[in-house]
Structure formats: structure tokens, C-alpha cells
Chains A and B, each alone.
Chain A
Amino acid sequence: MPPESQTYRYLTQPEIRFLDAAVERLIPADDLGPGAKGSGVTGFIDQQLVSVWGSHGRNYRTGPWPEGTPQQGFQSRLTPREIYRAAIREVNVHCLEQYQKAFEFLAPREQDEVLKGLESGAIQLASVSSKLFFGLLLRNTMEGFFADPMYGGNRDKAGWKLIGFPGVPASDYNDLIEEQNVPYRVEPVSILDVLQERVKLDSQGLPKHVKLKDEGRSGR
């Protein structure tokens, strides 16, 4: 699915532009392959925010809500949906004050400066901890880049190709596992690839992996 036809259920246009720019700094496109934006991570985050997780539906959500120690973990009264909504707006307020431009219009170096300020807590946001927001953003970006493509990110299995992860396993690893220093390089297989039989399946319903011809493809 080309990026232009991506539809969003939660994120607004300014939020999409912010996230496209931010996730691309976290995992940029380069000679190794697509970055987070090109592999659909913004769409992934949208899906996650709509999911049960986005409203912390399976998390304990009763107060009181004192801040706690770092060892006590997540204690915000805001859900991920609310954190993204508030934080993106407030980061843009910071960027307008500091650079007179919204985040997406900053030079990559300036964007990195802002992201580092959020990561370290040096930039303070009005209604939410900047560290907390950055932590969620980095976590969701990594999840989107490496989760099964059915969640909207890792488009074309770009994340798996980058590192050489085969996805749904084949059933013959037992025969190969003792091999020493023999890289196993195959075309990765997603859940949808199996369901739509875009790969040959064996009698157990597991994919027969197709070996990559280009030896240098992964794991440089």
C-alpha cells in the first residue's frame, strides 16, 4: 500500500506531519534501506492509539496518582492517546518559540536537538513529562519497525530485511541449528504471506523459506 493511501483513525493532520518527521529521525532512511516513515510507522502508531493499548484498557487506571520513583514505573493519569495528543502540540509550541517553525519544518540537525531535549528531559512540556513522551515514541517506533507488517509498520518487511530476521519460521531449524557460522539468509515471511499463500507451505502449514541470492543483503 503506498503511503499516500494511508488513512488515519486517531491522528490529526498536524500530528501525522510531526510523527512522520520525528520517527524518520529515530530510524532514518539511508543506503541500508527505508526508514521508519517509509515503512509506515506513523500508521502503526495510529493503529496502536486506536487499540486497547492506546487507552491503556488492560492497565490499572485507578487513582490516586502520585508521581512515584522511577522504579515504580508508569504512573501518568494520561493514556498513550492523550499523551501523544498533548505532547505533540506542546513540542510544536516549543519549536515555534525556539526556531519559529513547527517541528516538521526544522532542519534534521535541529530536529535531533529537539528529540534529544525530550529524551533527556531538558525540554519541559506543560502537561506531560517529555521523557515519558519520548520513551513512548521510541518504543512505538521500534515496535512499528519490527512488528509483523499486519500492524501497519514494517512495510514490505523493511525492518526484518535490515537485520535478516526471517519472520514466521520454517520447520527445519532443528536440522540447521548446530551449523557453525553459516548465515541463514532468506526472504522474510509475514503472517499475511502465510495466510495468502504467497509462500509455499509444508505439511505443518509452515513456510518453505526462499534463500536470498544476494548474500550481502542483510546484516552488514
Chain B
Amino acid sequence: MTPTKLKPVDAVIVGTGVVGSILAKELADAELKVVALERGRVIDPQHDFASPYTFDELKYDRHSDIFQDLSRETITFRNNAREVALPMREMGSFKPGEAVGGTSLHWGTHTRRFLPWDFETRSRTIERYGKSQILDECSSQDWGLTYEELEPYYDQFEHLYGVGGKAGNLNGEIQPGGNPFEGPRSREYPNPPSSMNYAGTLFANACRELGYHPHVNPVAAQTQAYTNPYKLMLGQCIRGGFCSSHACSMGAKANPLTTVMPALLKQANFELRPLSNVIKVNLDSDGKRATGVTYLDAAGREFEQPAELVILAAYTFNNVRLMLLSGIGKPYDPATNRGVVGRNYSYQSAGRVTLFFEEKVFNPFMGGGARGTAIDEFNGDNFDHSGLDFFGGAYIAVASSGAMPIKSIHVPPGTPRWGAEWKRAAARYYQRNLTVRLHGACQSYRQNYLDLDPNYRDANGLPLLRMTFDWGDNERKASAWITKKAEEIAKAMNPSLMSAQPTAGHYDIVPYQSTHNVGGAAVGADPATSAVNKYLQSWDVSNVFVIGGCNFPQNSANPPTGTIGALACWAADSIKDLYLKRPGPMV
């Protein structure tokens, strides 16, 4: 079948999530003719996400049709290269989205910046502790891009998404109440921080007793009504739960539909094409220039969209997969440790301590977003790792995200999973427990990577992306050690019972953990170990920019989207200010 060739445009954008929507808006503002292709459907949030239908845990947490439809496309997974990868048949460990607006229609809104250290993980670790602190197979590396360079773009994204928080470091001056370990910020957050709930207050008091610096998580669930720089109005979050994994009916959750799209859709030089699944970036005969993309519409008809500029903004998985399917960049080969596309896939480690009380009732259903209270003493290199057999760390937090009953009933250790005794414990403890959680970094390893699966295909007959991933010893050790610290805090809160669970054993794709899949198209200063240069431009095909969590060479403990948004703003400015003036390789 010969594809229908469409009229050329200046820029074609694949995906309309956090990244795609920002790139589309910024490039349209620069008067480029922009087309965005999105595999998912159009959402009209006022009607599709109307109250009371959004208050439905079964639908949104379990069966939502704004999640990726795995019947058409999934990934395959194995813990190591000795196993045969099998398809992730059912949604589990992560929940990518499939709709105009992407995954953040149902995200948890926790918006932390990465630590300055996160951008220079390898060199700073070696500088402070020597080479022996890093395992041989660990391929974590510096970004070739620093916190200082990204700071203005963090600021831009935080204002776009209306993040509510308290600065801990304003232009180098430590601020009371904020996170004293954060990198210096040029301005306060655009919105005030959330108030602390009872669980958060208990946690904060225990942390202060131990000499730590508790602060409230910054969130993009609006802490007050807010108008963003694109002049769009967001509502105040009512903290009614049904948040992470759910769509918001209050217009309070920052995402492309609330922060960008309504302004963008008014621009005549922008066109949105939903239900358009991009299957390939087309290259010219010597493979050095992209000529556009090929996509299938809802009826399966094939179209070729020629463009001067191609932006991949299709989440970590499809950014990497489209590079591999299109022959952009050298695929990573773990046997030789050569190649870059698919290299350094990483995730997020964890750990938790659950506390049970007899006389304290927490109203756990109140909350929203990844609101909560945290300490950063054990994150990154904020503590001395001398004598420890790992590097990196975790932040420790008590969430106030709204405990939903199907997912969030915790019973004391030793309680049966069902029956009369379980029922009694569920009734007693649903409101009388809280969890102190680790959100941990994840280093990259030679043996963890993404490539094309040799056995399983998508509905269009194209190979699925294959994930080979397991926890590294560094992560298991870090989690075990920091979980002990979390237990000390937990003890200071005086629970009647508690149980601790660090990250251990093998990574398991079944239970939901986080949609913080990163790496595979790392940013870097060296084309031998990175897929894109510091402007997120492909080293090999200079009119292709690849943007998202896929750029992280390893994962920070902090949630990814603040940094993904900053990277999108940074890339948009780099394209506008540098690339368009002189198209071609920027480094």
C-alpha cells in the first residue's frame, strides 16, 4: 500500500503529552506550521472528566480507557538476557497514557526538581569517594547538561504547571520551611505549599526530633485557583482523593489539557491529529536527515507527513522504539557495550515502613496528588557515603494522596489476606495506619536496556519494545540502609506495630510501582555513550529531537516530570534561538 503523501509542514510532533504539548505551543508561537500526531483520542475534560463519574476507583485505577490499550501495543519484559522476554499482557508496574494530553491526565502531580548532583552523578561520586564506590557494570554518567543551565526552564515549567511549594534555597539563601537541600532557585514557587495533614505533622515532628528538615512536597495539583502564563485558568484542588491514576473533574490537576491545549488549539498554524499512530521517522537516502514521519489513522490508512523538523515526544518507550524502528542512532548491544539507543534504561527504587496505631485516626481518604511531607537528608549525595557500599539515595515521605479502598487497605503484619480476621483488621486499621515511603534513585547498568523484541509484534505487525531490567545491588543496598533510617523515624512516631519492606529480590512487573520509566535515549556530551546532545538533538539525524524521561542517563530519586517539563522548555528555546537560525548539528 502506498501511503498518501500530505502537504509538508515545518514541524511534526509525535505525542501530545507534557513534552509534545509544550513543544507544539512554543514552536507555533515562533510561527512555525506545526502538526501534532497523537495515537490516542481527543478528550473534552469538561464532559469526559465530569463529576461524579471521576470518583470511580474501579474504572480509573483498574480499567481506564485513558491508559494505553495493551491489546494493540505493549512491551515485553525479562529480568535478564538469559530469559525469554514475555509481553506485559496486563497493566501492572507502570501505566502509560493514550489520549490527547498523555500520561499526565492521570499523574500524581508531584513536581520536584532534580538535585544539582543528579546531573553529575558519576564525576561527583568519583571525586568524593573514588572509583571503587561505583560497580564495574554501572553505566551511570554525567548529563553534559547542568542544573544551572536548566534552572530557568525549571522555573518556566513550574509557572506553566502552577506548582505549589515552599522554596528551600532562593538564590543560594536557605529558606526556613523549604527543602534546604534543593539546588538554588531563582524565584519562589508560583503557588503556596499545601497544608500538612495529621500524618504529615506526626512525621514532621518525628523528623525534627531527629534533627532532619521536613518540608511539604511541591505539587502541580493547584493549591489555589491559578492563571498560568498561557492565560489558562486552573481550579483549586479540593483534596478529595481519586487523584493519582484518576482524571480530575475540578480542573485542578496541571496537565496538557489544563495548561496548554486550549490556548494552542486557537492557533491557526497548529493542527492536532488524534488517532494517528506514528510508525516510523522517514530518513533521506544517506540517513542523515529526516524527511518526515509515516503514520496510520484510525482506519489503518497510511499517511506520510513531510516535515523540516521531527520532534519525538512519545514517552520513553515509543521514543526509543521509533528510533530503533527508523534506524536513528546505533542500537545498544550489551555484549559489546557499544551503541546508544536503548542503553541505560532505568526506573525508580523504593522501600516502605507501614505503621499501625490504636488511638490515632488519620482520615486517609482526604488528600490529593502526591501531596505529603518529606525529608531530603538521604537523597542523592546529601549524606556522607564513606564506608557505605552504595551511592545515591532516596527521599523519605509520608503521602497524603487520598487512600482509596480497593488499593489502600493495609493490615498489620501477620494478618491473613482474607476471612474474618482480615475483615476485622481492615475495619480497624484502614484509618489508623500510615506509610513512610522511600522514593529511591536507580543507577544504570550495562545489563539493563531496551531493544526490539524478536518474537512479539504490535497490531500493525511491528516488533514490540523489549525491556531487560532488574534491580542493581547498589539499589538493594541503598534501599536496605535508608529503610533503616525510615524505621528510626517511624519508631519516633510511636506506632503500636510496624513492618518494613525495602526494595529487594528481583524487579517484578506485576504490582504498580511508578510510571517513571527513564533512559534509553540518554543525553550526553559524548556520542559514544549518548543518543542526543545537550539540546536533545539526535547526534546522527540533526533535524530530529528526542525529548522526555528517555534522556535521563540514570534516574534520580525525585519524580521525573518536573525535569521532563524543564527539558521540554529548554529544547524549545534551543530550537527557537539556535537551531532555526542555523539548522544542522548544534554541537
The answer to whether B90 and A56 touch across the interface, beta carbons within 8 angstroms, is yes
Within 8 A of B (CB), among A200-215: 204-206
A146 to B404: give the CA distance in the assembly, Å: 9
Using CB atoms, name the residue of chain B closest to A151. Answer: B58
The answer to whether B89 and A28 touch across the interface, beta carbons within 8 angstroms, is no
Asked if A25 is an interface residue, CB under 8 A from chain B, the answer is yes
Residues of B within 8 A of A122 (CB): none
23 pairs, CB–CB < 8 Å, chain A vs chain B? A27-B419, A27-B422, A27-B423, A57-B71, A58-B70, A59-B71, A64-B455, A69-B78, A73-B509, A74-B510, A112-B419, A148-B56, A148-B57, A168-B51, A171-B238, A172-B238, A173-B238, A173-B240, A176-B366, A181-B361, A183-B363, A218-B427, A218-B431
Within 8 A of A (CB), among B396-424: 400, 405-406, 409, 417-420, 422-424
A60 to B509: give the CA distance in the assembly, Å: 15
Asked if A174 is an interface residue, CB under 8 A from chain B, the answer is yes
* Residues A60 and B239 in contact in the complex (CB < 8 Å), given A183-B431, A219-B428: no
Give the A interface residue count (CB, 8 A).
Answer: 71
Asked if B69 is an interface residue, CB under 8 A from chain A, the answer is yes
Asked if A96 is an interface residue, CB under 8 A from chain B, the answer is no
A94 to B69: give the CA distance in the assembly, Å: 37
A177 to B194: give the CA distance in the assembly, Å: 10
Asked if B47 is an interface residue, CB under 8 A from chain A, the answer is no
Residue-by-residue, is B37-65 near A (CB-CB < 8 Å gives 1, otherwise 0)?
Answer: 00000000000000111011110001101
The answer to whether B58 and A72 touch across the interface, beta carbons within 8 angstroms, is no
Residues of A at the B interface (CB closer than 8 Å) are 25-28, 30, 32, 35, 51-53, 56-62, 64, 66, 68-75, 112, 115, 119, 138, 141-143, 146-148, 151, 159-160, 162-174, 176-184, 191, 194-195, 204-206, 218-220
Using CB atoms, name the residue of chain B closest to A44. Answer: B58
Shortest Cβ distance from B214 into chain A, in angstroms? Answer: 15
* Residues A72 and B63 in contact in the complex (CB < 8 Å), given A60-B88, A146-B406, A184-B363: no
The answer to whether B240 and A171 touch across the interface, beta carbons within 8 angstroms, is yes
A27 to B457: give the CA distance in the assembly, Å: 41
* Residues A143 and B201 in contact in the complex (CB < 8 Å), given A72-B509, A183-B431: no
Residues of B within 8 A of A68 (CB): 84, 86
The answer to whether B427 and A28 touch across the interface, beta carbons within 8 angstroms, is no
Which of the residues A70, A142, A169, A194 comes within 8 Å of B365, measured between beta carbons?
A169
The answer to whether A169 and B240 touch across the interface, beta carbons within 8 angstroms, is yes
Residues of B within 8 A of A172 (CB): 238
Using CB atoms, name the residue of chain B closest to A159. Answer: B405
A180 to B360: give the CA distance in the assembly, Å: 9
The answer to whether A165 and B90 touch across the interface, beta carbons within 8 angstroms, is no
Residues of B at the A interface (CB closer than 8 Å) are 51-53, 55-58, 62-63, 65, 67, 69-71, 74, 77-79, 83-84, 86-90, 92, 195-198, 201, 236, 238-242, 250, 359-361, 363, 365-367, 400, 405-406, 409, 417-420, 422-424, 426-428, 430-432, 455-457, 506-510
The answer to whether A30 and B366 touch across the interface, beta carbons within 8 angstroms, is no
The answer to whether A163 and B406 touch across the interface, beta carbons within 8 angstroms, is no
A62 to B457: give the CA distance in the assembly, Å: 8
A35 to B418: give the CA distance in the assembly, Å: 12
The answer to whether A147 and B57 touch across the interface, beta carbons within 8 angstroms, is yes
The answer to whether A59 and B70 touch across the interface, beta carbons within 8 angstroms, is yes
Residues of B within 8 A of A159 (CB): 405
Which 7 residue pairs of A and B lie closest in terms of their CB atoms, listed nearest first?
A169-B240, A147-B58, A146-B405, A163-B430, A194-B52, A183-B361, A26-B418
Which of the residues B56, B455, B507 comes within 8 Å of A191, measured between beta carbons?
B56
Which of the residues B89, B419, B428 comes within 8 Å of A25, measured between beta carbons?
B419
* Residues A220 and B428 in contact in the complex (CB < 8 Å), given A73-B510, A163-B405, A191-B52: yes
* Residues A164 and B431 in contact in the complex (CB < 8 Å), given A73-B90, A74-B90: yes
The answer to whether B51 and A206 touch across the interface, beta carbons within 8 angstroms, is yes
Using CB atoms, name the residue of chain A closest to B363. Answer: A184
Shortest Cβ distance from B510 into chain A, in angstroms? Answer: 5
The answer to whether A71 and B506 touch across the interface, beta carbons within 8 angstroms, is yes
The answer to whether B431 and A219 touch across the interface, beta carbons within 8 angstroms, is yes
Residues of A within 8 A of B366 (CB): 169, 173, 176-177, 184
Residues of B within 8 A of A59 (CB): 70-71, 89-90
Residues of B within 8 A of A171 (CB): 238, 240
* Residues A60 and B431 in contact in the complex (CB < 8 Å), given A72-B86, A195-B52: no
